[in-house]
């Protein structure tokens, strides 16, 4: 994440605020209050992965009418999991 300045990182984390469920926000505020750590830092820690990987990971889903099942596929583009992701896992989900 060297291409992010701290200022930019905190700015992007603040933009993610509207996508965070109110219950999670309340929990993060509680953690901040209880620990004495500023809420903005708690927020950054909780959305850091989303900020860092916004252009990397992908997912898709569709409903197969013939088999009446949902198909969902996702990948995590982390170099840490490259070898693990070389294998494909298929788990059928029925409607």
Q: How far apart are CA 95 and CA 87, in angstroms?
A: 26
pLDDT computed for residue 48 by the predictor: 77
pLDDT computed for residue 93 by the predictor: 59
In which residue are the tokens 């996702």 written? 74
Over its C-alpha atoms, the chain yields an Rg (Å, rounded) of 18
In which residue are the tokens 């992965």 written? 49
69: left (phi over 0), alpha (psi -120 to 50) or beta: beta
Of the chain, the percentage scoring pLDDT greater than 90 comes to 23
Tell me if residue 46 falls in helix, strand or coil. Answer: helix
The rounded mean pLDDT for the chain is: 76
């Amino acid at each position: 994440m060297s291409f992010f300045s701290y200022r930019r990182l905190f700015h992007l984390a603040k933009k993610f605020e509207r996508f965070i469920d109110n219950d999670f926000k309340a929990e993060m505020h509680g953690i901040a209050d209880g620990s004495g750590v500023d809420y903005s830092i708690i927020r950054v820690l909780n959305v850091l992965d989303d900020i860092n990987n916004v252009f990397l990971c992908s997912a898709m889903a569709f409903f197969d009418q013939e088999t009446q099942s949902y198909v969902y596929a996702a990948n995590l583009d982390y170099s840490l999991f490259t070898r693990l992701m070389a294998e494909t896992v298929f788990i059928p989900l029925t409607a």
